[in-house]
Amino acid sequence: METFSYKGESLFCEKVNLDEVARSKGTPLYVYSYRSIVESYDRIARAFAQVRPLICYSLKANSNLSLLRILSQRGAGADIVSAGELYKALRAGFSSEKIVFAGVGKREEEIEYALREKILMFNVESASELRVIDELSRRLNREARISFRVNPDVDPKTHHYITTGKEENKFGLDFAEAKRLYEKARQLRRVKLVGIHMHIGSQITSSLPYLEALEKVAGLVEELREEGISLEYLDIGGGFGIGYEEGTSSLEVEDLARKTVPIVQKMRMKLILEPGRYIIGPAGVLVSRVLYKKKTKKKTFLIVDAGMNDLIRPSLYGAYHRIKKIKRPDEMTSFEVVDVVGPVCESGDFFAQERALPEIEEGEYLAIMDAGAYGFSMSSSYNSRPRAAEVLVREDKWWTIRERESLEDLIKGEHTLEEKDGISCQLIPFTKMEGCGNDFIVIDNRSNLIQNRAEFARRVCARRTGIGADGLLLVENSKEADFKMRTFNPDGTEPDMCGNGARCIARFAYLKGIAKQNSSFWTPSGKIVYQVEGEDVKIKMKDPSDLKPAIKLNIGGKLYEGHFINTGVPHLVLFVEEVEKAPLKNLAPLMRYHQLFQPEGTNVDFVEIERDVLKVRTYERGVEGETLGCGTGAVASSLISSLIFGLASPVKVRMRGGRLLVYFQKRGDIFTDVFLEGKAKVVYEGYIPSSLMGEGT
């Protein structure tokens, strides 16, 4: 069934009017059909059902997470060529045991990442790559499952930029070199030979090149068997072509299966396919609006708001894409020959040249067809043009699956230099975050740009003369974990731990791509394990220490009873009837500096138990005042409340800045497996001129 078709006066995607989507989301805009993706995937699966192939979708074609999720839920595997694609594949739910890693230039850190994730196999392309994989697998004590990509020297008769299986191409190994490396690899202790791989090119619409290449590879497999090398997987790559032009056809996958399945069965190997374009290409269109109609002596130009930065295939390959009006042309509409061009300052910025199209007026919407593959994935912000939004349609509903980039997004991650007194100074990017009302300035300091950290903290945390915050959080390098967290109070002191700060820095590291969704970081109090789910962050706290219940303090001739515990930093917990009436402002500073807690002092928590909820107010040392929330204080209050009043895990904590949950295991007065959970939010982002932050920063 045609996914994109006219209904009434407009072009529809499934049951959604593209005119309405374009007016709602603006243009340029990518629109994808759920049904088209599923039907194309299922068609391949049915065609090759006899051999039950592993269909590894090629992420390079389009790696939007929502689209990947559709395929991972369908049972697909993933064909990747970078650490970024591995990261996205895992985020989208692909099993690591269904991921194959191809590409001629895998970096060491990419190979290490894939080894740690235990992917199905690497498609190895050179002797040097084999050496690096062997070294890393031995150092990490991980098994490296590999196949070799062979070059069968077959011409698929496609564009010379997208042929990959000829002798002059950079991809793969000739058969003699492949045999030599198979023999070498079988001697390596941590390397396991599991397959053989070929990929002869892209946009192939005939079965014959596959058949020719496969017969050659089958002969090599038989030679390897005679040498005692038996392989489990046969990966014949992808490159399945689609019919971009009117009257042209896509690859008949049923014909390909009829011709190749008997060979695969004879080889007695598990088949892997790597389609990308075939699945996602026809599923997407690029919707654009006509800005101007310009007539010269020789040509008529339709200038649209999409450009070569949005869809580069016509400019790069001379590729053909059908172009349709969103508004259905009536039978009386006349045709005119036009060039459809974009606003980018390049003569190569076009989508069609000398194309006969129904007469089109300024302000109309056009759909550039079959743009789902190598459209957004090859897009850029050339000419400082924000990249397009993406929308997914399923039946009569549609969802935004990628927001349009903003102008601010164009400078994200950039560092500018300012001139101050003739000296260049760097602008330091920061993120203001808050967790349960605790606000922090968070900075990636892995380059050690900020050296005088205490002075820097005093300046930027100042509420009136700086940015203002309860603390400064720095991400720094660590040998023990993914990164190190350093925390500085507004007075420049450095505590060992901050619970809400830890939750904020975990989400910051995840959002910035510094660490994964589930990982760990190092603090002076020890390693912290965390899990990020949206704005919710859960961290595993250090097991508490120095428990001293029922401490008596004589202050001004009056006795007070408190309970001391160290939850990464010291806390004194006092129970009161009404926490809002607690004498925090006057009493807490005296307790903070009490001789019992010298020389470090202590934080002070006033706690009211209201049914099964703790209401907590905290005076924090270093801040030297009350904060709206305190993570280690919430933990301290919860554990002491469990010890004194028997509260069970999880304990609900309400502070002035928000709510937290505290989980723990308890045996007698011993607490283990302590977790803190709550929101960690980004407030805003900005830049700090390093020249204004004091000498040494």
Instruction: Tell me the two tokens of residue 568.
Output: 């990464």
CB neighbour class for 521 (10 Å; exposed up to 12, middle 13-18, buried from 19): buried
φ and ψ at residue 199, rounded to 5 degrees? -155, 115
Helix, coil or strand: residue 319: coil
| Tokens matching residue 129 | 């790559």
In 3D space, the residue among 669, 674, 676, 673 whose CA is nearest the CA of residue 550 turns out to be 669
Q: CA 569 to CA 539: how far, in whole Å?
A: 16
Q: For residue 213, with 0-12 CB atoms within 10 Å meaning exposed, 13-18 middle and 19 or more buried, which class applies?
A: buried
Cβ-count burial of 465 within 10 angstroms (0-12 exposed, 13-18 middle, 19+ buried)? exposed
| 54: nearest Cα among 274, 276, 217, 281 | 274
Let me know: does 536 contact 568? Beta carbons within 8 Å.
Answer: no
**Cα–Cα distances in Å, from 28 out to 251, 287, 489?**
29, 6, 47
**What are residue 669's phi and psi, to 5 degrees?**
-105, 20
Residue 613 in tokens: 């909820």
Omega within 30 of 0 (cis) for the link into 650: yes
Q: Using the CB atoms, write b or e for 473-499: b if 16+ within 10 Å.
A: bbbbebeebbbbbbbbbbebbbbbbbb
Per-residue DSSP letter, 181: H
Are the C-beta atoms of 174 and 185 separated by less than 8 Å?
Answer: no
Contacts of 693 (CB under 8 A, 6+ apart): 428, 450, 455, 456, 459, 460
What is the DSSP pairing of strand 603-610 with strand 270-273?
Answer: unpaired
- φ, ψ of residue 388 to 5 degrees: the values are -70, 160
Q: Which residue shows structure tokens 């590409």?
A: 103
Active site residues: 345
Residue of 94, 145, 97 lying closest to 124 (CA atoms): 145
What tokens appear for 238 in the block?
């992808």
For residue 567, which of 628, 625, 641, 509 has the smallest C-alpha distance? 641
Q: Which residue has the tokens 């002076």?
A: 524
Burial class (CB in 10 A: 0-12, 13-18, 19+), 611: exposed
Contacts of 413 (CB under 8 A, 6+ apart): 429
**Do 630 and 605 form a contact (C-beta atoms < 8 A)?**
yes
**Strands in 274-349 per DSSP E:** 284-295, 300-304, 323-325, 335-341
In contact, 441 and 461? CB cutoff 8 Å: yes
Residue 352 identity (one-letter amino acid) = A
What's the CA gap between 333 and 313, in Å, rounded?
A: 29
Q: Is 166 exposed, middle or buried (0-12, 13-18, 19+ CB in 10 A)?
A: middle
Mapped onto helix, strand or coil, the DSSP state of residue 618 is: strand
Question: HSE-up of 261 (CA within 13 Å, CB side)?
Answer: 16
